[in-house]
Amino acid sequence: MSAQTVSFLRQLDIFNPETFQHLCHVIGVGAIGSRVVELLARIGVPEVHAYDADIVQPHNVPTGAFYPEAVGSLKVTALGQQLAGFPQTLMTAHPEAAGEEARFPGVVFVCVDSMDVRRLLWQHCLRQQPIVPLMIEIRIGPQTGQIYTVNPLDLSHGENWEAASAYAGGFTASLPCTNQGSAPLMATVTGLAVNQLIQWHAQRDLANFITVGLEGMLSVQAFRW
């Protein structure tokens, strides 16, 4: 596929990838992160770094961005192969878990499974880091999702995020972050998360906390700190 076969003409009034100069880092590319990476390529983000040491499991296929033939492959490798048809996006695969020594110059999407790992990344790699202009962190429950959009240099943002992240591992005290969830929920929440990047790039006011519920009547609420 040539670059000419991918046109972003219909979105240019919303997001022009030629004017976006930031790297995007996606930490954890399971059900949530794989869809974030795919959406970043679909809006034309020029450079994406994906971090994950795990392989694709059968349960990753319905909820993530993976095809069935990717089962058994490294998640970052499978994503790179699937996104080869979007040559305007350079995706760098990091088949490793991002540790406390890692540095992420650019926008960071935190999509890991563990609340403990989220806090470790925040404390050692993201909080008050001038090289990180924006952190977008996503949490998923069975039929609910949460999106936190944080300026790591803003002390009030940091305090509010830390207060919202003080419970035990996972979306609640007992539910691991991606233990349950449906494809519609993943698509809805990751779409809203990537839209936060679009709004930030357009220098519009951002909600710092978005909550989505798909059980019963659809519920979407947004709040600023």
pLDDT in tens, 126-142: 999 999 999 999 999 88
Nearest to residue 189, comparing CAs of 33, 78, 82, 54? 33
For residues 199 and 208, give the distance between their C-alpha atoms in angstroms, rounded to a whole number: 12
Q: Is the pLDDT of residue 171 over 90?
A: no
Determine whether 156 is exposed, middle or buried from the number of CB atoms within 10 Å of its CB (0-12, 13-18, 19+).
Answer: exposed
> Beta-strand (E) ranges in the chain?
24-27, 47-51, 90-94, 107-110, 135-140, 144-150, 209-213, 219-223
Residues above pLDDT 90, as percent of the chain: 84
Model-level pTM?
0.93
For residue 173, what pLDDT is reported? Answer: 42
Q: What is the mean pLDDT of the chain?
A: 92
For residue 215, what pLDDT is reported? Answer: 87
Contact 84, 67 (CB under 8 A): no
Question: What radius of gyration, in Å, describes the C-alpha atoms of the chain?
Answer: 16
Contact 100, 124 (CB under 8 A): yes
For residue 170, what pLDDT is reported? Answer: 52
For residue 99, what pLDDT is reported? Answer: 83
For residue 175, what pLDDT is reported? Answer: 40
Where helices occur in 83-152 by DSSP H, the ranges are 115-121
Q: What angle do CA 141, 147, 121 make, to 5 degrees?
A: 95
Nearest to residue 70, comparing CAs of 85, 86, 54, 91? 54
- Count CA atoms within 13 Å of residue 92 on its CB side: 11
Domain ranges of the chain: 3-223
Q: Is the pLDDT of residue 2 over 70?
A: no
Contact 140, 132 (CB under 8 A): no
Superfamily designation of domain 3-223: NAD(P)-binding Rossmann-like Domain (3.40.50.720)
For residue 206, what pLDDT is reported? Answer: 96
